[in-house]
Amino acid sequence: MGVSRAERPSDRSRQGRGQDRHVLQPREAPAWSAPARTASGDAVADMREAILAKLAYVIGKSPTTARERDWFAATALALRDRVVDACMGAGRTVPNKRVYYLSLEFLIGRLLSDAMNNLGLVETTRAALAELGIDLGTVEGAEPDAALGNGGLGRLAACFMESMASIGIPAIGYGIRYDHGLFRQSLEDGWQRETPETWLAEGNPWEFVRPEATYTVGFGGHVTMSAVSEGVIRRQWHPAETVRAVAHDVPVVGWRGAHVNTLRLWKAEAEAPVDLGQFNGGDHVGAVSSRSRAEAISRVLYPSDSSMAGQELRLRQEYFFTSASLQDLLRRHVAERGDVRSLHDHAAIQLNDTHPAIAVPELMRLLLEDHQLSWEDAWHVTSNTLHYTNHTLLPEALETWPVELMERLLPRHMQIIYLINWMHLEEQGKVGRHDAAHLAAVSLIDESHGRRVRMGHLAFHGARRVNGVSALHTELMRSTVFRDLHALEPEKIVNKTNGITFRRWFHNANPGLTTLAVEAVGARVLDDPEALRGLEAFATDASFVARYAAMRGARKEALAQIVADRTGIDIDPSALFDVQVKRIHEYKRQLLNVIETVALYQAIKAEPHRDWTPRVKIFGGKAAPSYTQAKLIIKLACDVAKAVNDDPEVAGRLKVVFMPNYSVSLAEAIIPAADLSEQISTAGMEASGTGNMKFALNGALTVGTLDGANIEIRQHVGPENIFIFGLDAAGVQARMATPNYARDAIWASPRLAAALDMIASGRFSPEEPNRFRPLVDDLRHRDQYLLTVDFDDYWRVQREIDAAWNDPAGWWRMAILNTARMAWFSSDRSMREYAEEIWRVKLG
Ligand SMILES: *Cc1c(COP(=O)(O)O)cnc(C)c1O
């Protein structure tokens, strides 16, 4: 009965723009999900009653009036109770040391399947809902996607939180509870359109509001001095404006429910909701205006990825969440240990990029002013507690803030930064480094572009360890952006290659493949991904390979259905699915892929009777709203798609799709259906990538450059099981130093020249022939990302891939070997390395 209500069109329309609701893997009962067989009737009945109780007493609905969204909320609340039980069961002992992970972004996605899977309650919940006439997949699809992040950096934070809970690292993640996460992308005639995302519109059943954990965060104002005694001078900040940070906790349950950690997200509230004087004076609107200024801080996520958003509101967000988090962890430490001087023995703070780098002067300020430490003691504690992860060396992404803005918004912090910098430069003098060029290079203040605070230098100097996120990236940190600081402290930079959580990107996203792995190598693969290696023995086992191919086929059919629903384009599941999904950025070179598509289109039309390997090119990703070039690349992909898909001469050989609104849930549907993973960034520019790991784990073969973690993926899967092309990072550096490289590369490649001519001619934009001139002109005259230089080798390797696809046994062998050899890229491994080598924290 419930289901027939939920399926009613009127109910469906009330779901609003719920396009993502149908992005779901087929939820067949996986054989490895033990509760399916062992769940006693009682466990199912208990769950059923728990869901019904939540529906009635929390949501206020009966099964006959409940919408899909209500069933989701009731199910999530019932599961949340189990998470709390797991938390209480674990005992409330104080851990010796905690990790605090500060990140402006957490791209968590949906949590229901995560929670069910980690608690071993997938089949129990499915059966309980089935007894109520409700389909679990539908309920999962009704959960909004929590997109509190832009891309890889935010997704990494989410994977790390799950892994820390799974391997037992006591941790609290700190971030911002944005009212609006990353915008929703739609395509209007191929142009990206952004609409606000509203994940909180109907509340968030996972969170606990903690009004008792509320802190005051100040902005602006002035600093006073007072002589305390014996010549000691104390300074005190008097902010002009204060905002309240209110904690909202989301429990993070680890694998098999063994540990539960907390993601604490701060909401900004006005200190006084209304100005009573103004209100009583009759100005009711003016009385709430300061409120909207305060609350703006947690209103919306900045949608820029890999580029710096220089607005004041961004700096306010950064300081707001950093200050609240430090106040919170200091209060906890003092309550548990009494003395703030032992902070570094019991807390390790990780700064996810420079967004929380203001933690360096803020922790100093709190220790100096609230805890009366001496400068030396405060610096000792600060520089032994903080750690910093660098995520990019792209100049446009390195954060710097104008000194003028810092002085206005955070005057006390600017003083502290000056003092830290003065001592840092004094140190240089003592070791005989007086030369101006050296001092300018290591200074925390950049004097060359107006006076700006270098947040990367600040974080580096204030941190005990600084890490890169892949072997190549760490090496480049040492030799480029941080070269001079590295020379001063050669032990400080360490490498911690990124990882992904296998619970989400393997178990949950790909139950079919997980089932095959369990059947082949045993259930221990669920606890120890190294057991995947046992799959090597099955890579040439005909019956295993047949089931593997059937499993992939089913996922490709499911994706074809989603593509048809979203775009109206029919794709053939037997074609090679060639996928590039990630943020749209010039360094990621989606344009290279589009140009290769155009060249392939021309080649097929020139020789229509050759036996071309059927391909479907699938693109997806959001562009920052202000990133004109990236939006034009999306439009080009869509215009090329239209021309190619409408041309009967290439039918059955080439299709092109741009999937709108790429998100975590869409990734979960696309990645297990991919045959080929495009990881084609300009070498030296992608710090690590994590999309590359998700694809390879799920058995897609990688076509990629020697960039980021691709290099380590090649080492693990073997060079014969990955398709590498193009210049390496050293080659890129060298080529960039030669004049006219783009012009020479185009001259040398008639195929590239023809593809560029076709785009420039207006063939794909007859109604506006010059639409794509800016893209082509840039390639002909500048080509900062060396597309023209790598094009021919990219074309070559793509044809090699065509040939490989025509040998199915060989292809499946490579695919299975990829899955078998990807265990090292588990974020559990990353977290163990951080725990041992950076945080010095014991696993629980
Ligand atoms: C993994 C992931 C990313 C990062 O992808 P890269 O290819 O490493 O840039 C971005 N967005 C979503 C939704 C993801 O799941």
Judging by beta carbons within 10 Å of its beta carbon (0-12, 13-18, 19+), is residue 369 exposed, middle or buried?
middle
In this predicted structure, the answer to whether residue 64 has a pLDDT above a threshold of 90 is yes
- Identify the residue whose C-alpha is closest to ligand 1 atom 4: 152
d(C-alpha 394, C-alpha 385), whole Å: 27
| Cβ(168) – ligand 1 distance below 6 Å | no
Whether the CB-CB separation of 314 and 409 falls below 8 Å is answered with no
Tell me which of 391, 478, 622, 829 is the catalytic residue: 391
**Cα-based distances in Å from 159 to 107, 175, 715:** 9, 15, 23
In this predicted structure, the answer to whether residue 46 has a pLDDT above a threshold of 90 is yes
In this predicted structure, the answer to whether residue 717 has a pLDDT above a threshold of 70 is yes
d(C-alpha 601, C-alpha 644), whole Å: 7
Give 593 Cα–ligand 1 centroid separation in angstroms: 17
Tell me which of 400, 690, 705, 788 is the catalytic residue: 690
Position 382 scores a pLDDT of 98
- Identify the residue whose C-alpha is closest to ligand 1 atom 6: 691
Best residue among 580, 583, 686 to mutate for probing ligand 1, ranked by most atoms within 8 Å of CB: 583
- Identify the residue whose C-alpha is closest to ligand 1 atom 7: 691
In this predicted structure, the answer to whether residue 23 has a pLDDT above a threshold of 90 is no
| Cβ(667) – ligand 1 distance below 6 Å | yes
In this predicted structure, the answer to whether residue 74 has a pLDDT above a threshold of 80 is yes
| Cβ(181) – ligand 1 distance below 6 Å | no
Mean pLDDT of 297-308: 94
Atom of ligand 1 nearest to the CA of 109: 13
Position 649 scores a pLDDT of 97
In this predicted structure, the answer to whether residue 175 has a pLDDT above a threshold of 50 is yes
Sheet holding 452-454, edge to edge: 400-402, 452-454, 445-446
- Note if 267 is an active site residue: no
Tell me which of 588, 653, 714, 771 is the catalytic residue: 588
pLDDT, tens digit, 9 for 90 and up, residues 782-831:
999 999 999 999 999 999 999 999 999 999 999 999 999 999 999 999 99
In this predicted structure, the answer to whether residue 90 has a pLDDT above a threshold of 80 is no
Half-sphere exposure (Cβ direction) of 97: Cα atoms closer than 13 Å = 19
Return the percentage of the chain with pLDDT > 90, whole number: 89
Give 398 Cα–ligand 1 centroid separation in angstroms: 20
- Note if 628 is an active site residue: no
Position 16 scores a pLDDT of 34
Return the percentage of the chain with pLDDT > 70, whole number: 94
Give 689 Cα–ligand 1 centroid separation in angstroms: 7
pLDDT, tens digit, 9 for 90 and up, residues 542-551:
999 999 999 9
Least confident of 83-87, 336-340, 382-386: 83-87
- Identify the residue whose C-alpha is closest to ligand 1 atom 8: 689
| Cβ(765) – ligand 1 distance below 6 Å | no
Q: What is the DSSP letter of 640?
A: H
pLDDT, tens digit, 9 for 90 and up, residues 571-595:
999 999 999 999 999 999 999 999 9
pLDDT band for 11, please (50, 70, 90 cuts).
very low
pLDDT band for 9, please (50, 70, 90 cuts).
very low
pLDDT, tens digit, 9 for 90 and up, residues 95-111:
999 999 999 999 999 99
Atom of ligand 1 nearest to the CA of 662: 13
Q: What is the DSSP letter of 722?
A: S
Tell me which of 21, 478, 583, 829 is the catalytic residue: 583
Give 150 Cα–ligand 1 centroid separation in angstroms: 9
- Note if 12 is an active site residue: no
| Cβ(691) – ligand 1 distance below 6 Å | yes
pLDDT band for 30, please (50, 70, 90 cuts).
low
Q: Which residues contact 657 (CB under 8 A, 6 or more apart)?
A: 563, 567, 569, 571, 616, 617, 618, 619, 641
Judging by beta carbons within 10 Å of its beta carbon (0-12, 13-18, 19+), is residue 585 exposed, middle or buried?
buried
d(C-alpha 724, C-alpha 713), whole Å: 11
- Identify the residue whose C-alpha is closest to ligand 1 atom 10: 151
| Cβ(155) – ligand 1 distance below 6 Å | yes
pLDDT, tens digit, 9 for 90 and up, residues 398-448:
999 999 999 999 999 999 999 999 999 999 999 899 999 999 999 999 999
Rounded (10°) CA dihedral 779, 781, 784, 788: 40
- Identify the residue whose C-alpha is closest to ligand 1 atom 5: 691
In this predicted structure, the answer to whether residue 272 has a pLDDT above a threshold of 90 is no
| Cβ(621) – ligand 1 distance below 6 Å | no
Q: Give the closest residue to 304 by CA, choosing from 123, 491, 154, 474.
A: 154
- Note if 694 is an active site residue: yes
| Cβ(664) – ligand 1 distance below 6 Å | yes
| Cβ(257) – ligand 1 distance below 6 Å | no
In this predicted structure, the answer to whether residue 273 has a pLDDT above a threshold of 90 is no
Give 435 Cα–ligand 1 centroid separation in angstroms: 43
Most confident of 24-28, 226-230, 336-340: 336-340
Position 591 scores a pLDDT of 98
In this predicted structure, the answer to whether residue 377 has a pLDDT above a threshold of 50 is yes
In this predicted structure, the answer to whether residue 199 has a pLDDT above a threshold of 60 is yes
d(C-alpha 312, C-alpha 204), whole Å: 29
pLDDT, tens digit, 9 for 90 and up, residues 121-161:
999 999 999 999 999 999 999 999 999 999 999 999 999 99
Mean pLDDT of 673-693: 98
Whether the CB-CB separation of 684 and 707 falls below 8 Å is answered with yes
Position 35 scores a pLDDT of 47
Give 28 Cα–ligand 1 centroid separation in angstroms: 26
In this predicted structure, the answer to whether residue 541 has a pLDDT above a threshold of 70 is yes
| Cβ(709) – ligand 1 distance below 6 Å | no
Best residue among 108, 148, 155 to mutate for probing ligand 1, ranked by most atoms within 8 Å of CB: 155
- Identify the residue whose C-alpha is closest to ligand 1 atom 11: 151
Domains detected in the chain: 31-96+110-141 (no CATH), 152-498+831-839 (3.40.50.2000), 509-728+787-820 (3.40.50.2000)
Average pLDDT, the chain: 94
d(C-alpha 217, C-alpha 324), whole Å: 7
pLDDT band for 1, please (50, 70, 90 cuts).
very low
Judging by beta carbons within 10 Å of its beta carbon (0-12, 13-18, 19+), is residue 125 exposed, middle or buried?
buried
Give 687 Cα–ligand 1 centroid separation in angstroms: 13
Position 93 scores a pLDDT of 85
| Cβ(35) – ligand 1 distance below 6 Å | no
- Note if 622 is an active site residue: no
Judging by beta carbons within 10 Å of its beta carbon (0-12, 13-18, 19+), is residue 299 exposed, middle or buried?
middle
Whether the CB-CB separation of 286 and 245 falls below 8 Å is answered with no
Position 31 scores a pLDDT of 53
| Cβ(175) – ligand 1 distance below 6 Å | no
Atom of ligand 1 nearest to the CA of 581: 7
In the beta sheet, which residues pair with residue 676? 578, 701
| Cβ(456) – ligand 1 distance below 6 Å | no
pLDDT, tens digit, 9 for 90 and up, residues 603-634:
999 999 999 999 999 999 999 999 999 999 99
